[in-house]
Amino acid sequence: MKKLERIYEEIAKRHGTTAERVRRDIRSALKAAEESQELNTCSAWDRIPHSGEKPTPGEVIAYCSAECIRRLTDSDGETNPP
């Protein structure tokens, strides 16, 4: 997934680290979220579309991006400022 790799590289560059470290940190955060017993976390986790047993980092990033855009866009299709 070339687009996702570019995202990792850009994040790494901005934070003075490597793309591999970014990937590792995202996987760690997703594992913590997956293991969370908090109700809000569990229900959010279940809403993420995924092709396997659990969402991949790419699927989570795609879902979060789409959700951010959805929340910023009103019913008329106009984008609201953050």
Residue pLDDT, tens place only, 11-26: 999 999 999 999 999 9
Strand-pair partners of 73: 79
Name the residue ranges covered by the structural domains of the chain. 2-72
Tens digits of residue pLDDT in 33-55: 888 888 777 777 788 999 998 88
Interatomic CA distance for residues 18 and 20, integer angstroms: 5
Maximum CA pair distance of the chain?
40
Q: Going by C-beta distance under 8 Å and a sequence separation of 6 or more, which residues neighbour residue 48?
A: 55, 59, 60, 63
pTM for the predicted model, two decimal places: 0.68
> What's the mean pLDDT in 63-70?
89
Give the three-class secondary structure for 73. strand
Interatomic CA distance for residues 28 and 60, integer angstroms: 13
Q: Which pLDDT belongs to residue 38?
A: 80
